[in-house]
Structure 1
Amino acid sequence: MISLKYFDNAASSWPKPKQVVEAMTEAVMLYAANPGRGSHQMAVQASRIIFQTRVNLASLFQIDDPNHISFCLNTTEALNLAIKGILKPKDHVVCTSVEHNSVRRPLEYLKKNSDIEVTYVKTNKLGEINLEEIENAIQTNTKLMICNHSSNLIGSILPIDQINKIAKKHGLITLVDAAQSAGLIPIDVDGMGIDILAFPGHKGLLGPQGTGGIYIHPDIDVEPLMHGGTGSQSEKIEQPTIRPDRYESGTQNTPGIAGLNEGVKFVLNETVEKIHAKEWELTQRLMLGLLNIPQVKILGPKLGDNKTGITSFNVETIEASQVAFRLDRKYNIAVRSGYHCTPLAHETVGTVKLGAVRASVGYFTTTDEVDEFIDAVQNIANR
């Protein structure tokens, strides 16, 4: 077992529940056939596991019909599918200043090549947003409202239900980036007014990398990002209209989805509420310890505020990359430094020239590991 103290769960959660590894191994060894393409027993078993995963995801996100969930490689693919499949020339989009590049880059690409318009509504340095500014940003040609449920830089949580209520009043489609919230914060797609939900499998859902998905409301048609074989309506030259086939061309990642299924089952059994409470307590312990180090400045929400398990900070006079390097090499602690694929958020909190060190706890992080982390940063700051 690796003795590494892992504080990079915002990138990929680790370790995984043993059931995840066992399910992936079983899939490769016993039913590594193409789901939905054959009627033999291995293909049927692969299809069964994939459908079971949809059912469990639907239970987690309060979705009525699991067939409206399609699997993707990650949140990035899901977001690209939604953004590029909805927007047309001259459309306008409203989103926030804490968006990940998985939202910003597709939008800027379409802005340059398809003449769409984008308004980024700025949050304050704590990650809080003014709802009036959200509403004031809406134009007559606004079509889509995109919100990062939780910032991958500062861990702040946006009031998705209130933002989407404004969007619905103006007839907009709502897209939520749940990269840092799926499995970590309760999500109810209908109750929160979510038309499209993009989520990863490899973070809070405790599945392997290369898994993720998208929920698309049944009343909304999104143009597919890819076209190809689906195992259904093969006699037609057009992409199928039935879901989830419409958005799942090619062979699915059956071993990965089998692992994801066990991760989702683990989350359902433990409950999102219990997971969030534990990670919040660990984060508060970490923040309190860092606040007692004079050279450290924490970004984002204050101690006691609701947030996910992310704590980003800088150490006075020491570059973020150097802090991360020393934590790794001397203390065997894994963090991430730099810009975290979200220069917008760094601009918002005033660290665009500095970057930051990001420590992100997970459900399997211990209080001893948190205390060791604090001691390590203390030692680095004093030298």
Structure 2
Amino acid sequence: MIYFDNAATTMKKPPEVVQAVVEALQSFGGVGRGVHGASLSAGMAVYEAREAVARLFGAPSAARVAFCSNATEALNVAIAGLVRPGERAVTTAASHNSVLRPLYRARAQGADVDILPVAPDASINYDALEALLERPTRLLVATHASNVTGDVYDIERMTHLAHAHGALLLVDAAQTAGVVPLDMGTMGLDLVAFTGHKSLFGPQGTGGLCVGEGVEVPRYKVGGSGIKSYDEEHPSTMPERLEAGTLNGHGIAGLAAGIAYLERVGLDAVATQTHALVERFEAGARQIEGVRILGGQADSGRCGIVALNVGDVDSAVVSAALNADFGICTRAGAHCAPLMHQALGTMDQGAVRFSFSHLNTMDEVEEGLHALSQVAAAVLKDEARAGV
């Protein structure tokens, strides 16, 4: 099996991630739920993970990192807290349903929501975005990279536009965390939502929200916090304000190990290697008859994703053949990004998404290209027969 579905979840993890989770399962008590060694060791591991996340994203401090179950929950926390009835939010059609659905809910509750279309090549018109922001806006939610095409958008320009018009910027970094550098301090980012199970090499069920200094997000969940238990209200201090219940200490330990791996290898080295895999695959795929590459025109290049279609063949047929005949794992369909597919003209066909990890190899890419060429020839032949 060759795994090219890393934009959904990285399957291959560095050995230290597995080791960290196993050790945590064997030794952790409840995080912040006792003064015995098992609880204290869990609490220390979570604190060290907060520090690692803060370093990775240039967050103001570990206290400004709230852990969530994934980027989806983090986006829900931020959007529900900051976009109230009568307020306004803006996003783009590149957004995932993790952004769109919380915004649709806010709209149903009385908020004003505008969505900037994207071009058929997946690019964004920043002048049109600025025009949208000229009306009073509370929050701009910006996807750092499309989870369909891998196009990386100019997040610094979006930050400048948002702040120039008095809006906060929330970055969906689900696809770029661990592949494309982000620094909240130097880039002026207000909030960053991230997930642990993709390019940070952590377990599923990990992620979080980094909150800039001076940005106050109201409580989303309330309940047990391990502190101020006699108070009727959930604690107001960060990070407890945005966390309730026992944290996933075991998963967070694995997430911290994934970040430590990235720090050891070097984020620049990871990005360079991932880009080389993408560049070779895209160049090779463009030479295959019937293959159409989607997107690829964004200002800042691609993250580790190449999406394509073969003729007019349903993407699920192509993806299934790649898996059944060659053991190539890809993802077909809508990728939870309906507005992007609408812009690309692939609402009915979907797309076959190849997504690469730093842990993939160039030999695997070559095997993937060989498999794609064989499948493309076969499905186009079948399509031609069906049309006779």
So what's the TM-score if we normalise by structure 2? 0.95
Whether 1:364 aligns to 2:368 is no
Is contact 2:151–2:297 with CA below 8 Å preserved after alignment? Answer: no
2:67 equivalent in structure 1: 71
Mapping for residues 248-267 of structure 1, pairs under 5 Å = 248-267=243-262
Is contact 1:311–1:359 with CA below 8 Å preserved after alignment? Answer: yes
2:99 equivalent in structure 1: 103
Specify every segment of 5 or more residues in structure 2 that has no aligned partner in the other structure, as ranges.
379-388
Is contact 1:284–1:303 with CA below 8 Å preserved after alignment? Answer: no
Is contact 1:94–1:119 with CA below 8 Å preserved after alignment? Answer: yes
- Cα separation, 2, equivalents of 1:89 and 1:361: 40
Is contact 2:153–2:300 with CA below 8 Å preserved after alignment? Answer: no
Give the letter for the 2:325 counterpart.
K
Whether 1:89 aligns to 2:85 is yes
2:198 equivalent in structure 1: 203
- Cα separation, 1, equivalents of 2:172 and 2:143: 5
Is contact 1:314–1:320 with CA below 8 Å preserved after alignment? Answer: yes
* Partner deviation per Cα, 1:312-338 (whole Å, 9 max, x = no partner): 000114211011111111111100000
Structure 1 residue 347, shift from structure 2 partner: 1.1
Q: Structure 1 segments of 4 or more deviating over 4 A?
A: 302-305
2:5 equivalent in structure 1: 8
Structure 1 residue 64, shift from structure 2 partner: 2.7
Q: 1:305 to 1:107 in 2, by over 3 A?
A: closer
Whether 1:17 aligns to 2:14 is yes
Whether 1:307 aligns to 2:302 is yes
- Cα separation, 1, equivalents of 2:3 and 2:158: 34
Aligned with residue 45 of structure 2, among 42, 49, 53: 49
Give the letter for the 1:20 counterpart.
V
1:29 equivalent in structure 2: 26
Root-mean-square deviation (Å):
1.4
2:34 equivalent in structure 1: 38
1:62 equivalent in structure 2: 58
May I ask how many residue pairs the two structures share in their alignment? 378
Mapping for residues 110-149 of structure 1, pairs under 5 Å = 110-112=106-108, 114-149=109-144
Mapping for residues 309-348 of structure 1, pairs under 5 Å = 309-348=304-343
* Partner deviation per Cα, 1:346-380 (whole Å, 9 max, x = no partner): 11222112100000010111111111111111111
Is contact 2:9–2:197 with CA below 8 Å preserved after alignment? Answer: yes
Is contact 1:92–1:139 with CA below 8 Å preserved after alignment? Answer: no
Structure 1 residue 124, shift from structure 2 partner: 2.1
Equivalent position SS for 1:206: coil
Whether 1:221 aligns to 2:181 is no
- Cα separation, 2, equivalents of 1:133 and 1:332: 43
Equivalent position SS for 1:95: strand
Give the letter for the 1:44 counterpart.
L
- Cα separation, 2, equivalents of 1:149 and 1:317: 29
Structure 1 residue 303, shift from structure 2 partner: 11
* Partner deviation per Cα, 1:221-250 (whole Å, 9 max, x = no partner): 212221001011111100101111111110
Whether 1:354 aligns to 2:349 is yes
1:157 equivalent in structure 2: 152
Q: 1:268 to 1:125 in 2, by over 3 A?
A: farther
Is contact 1:74–1:201 with CA below 8 Å preserved after alignment? Answer: yes
Give the letter for the 1:263 counterpart.
G
So what's the TM-score if we normalise by structure 1? 0.96
* Partner deviation per Cα, 1:190-222 (whole Å, 9 max, x = no partner): 222211110000011110000001011231221
Equivalent position SS for 2:323: helix
* Partner deviation per Cα, 1:21-63 (whole Å, 9 max, x = no partner): 11101011122x1111111111110001000011111111112
Structure 1 residue 123, shift from structure 2 partner: 2.4
Percent of pairs with identical residues: 37
Q: 1:346 to 1:179 in 2, by over 3 A?
A: same
Specify every segment of 5 or more residues in structure 1 that has no aligned partner in the other structure, as ranges.
none
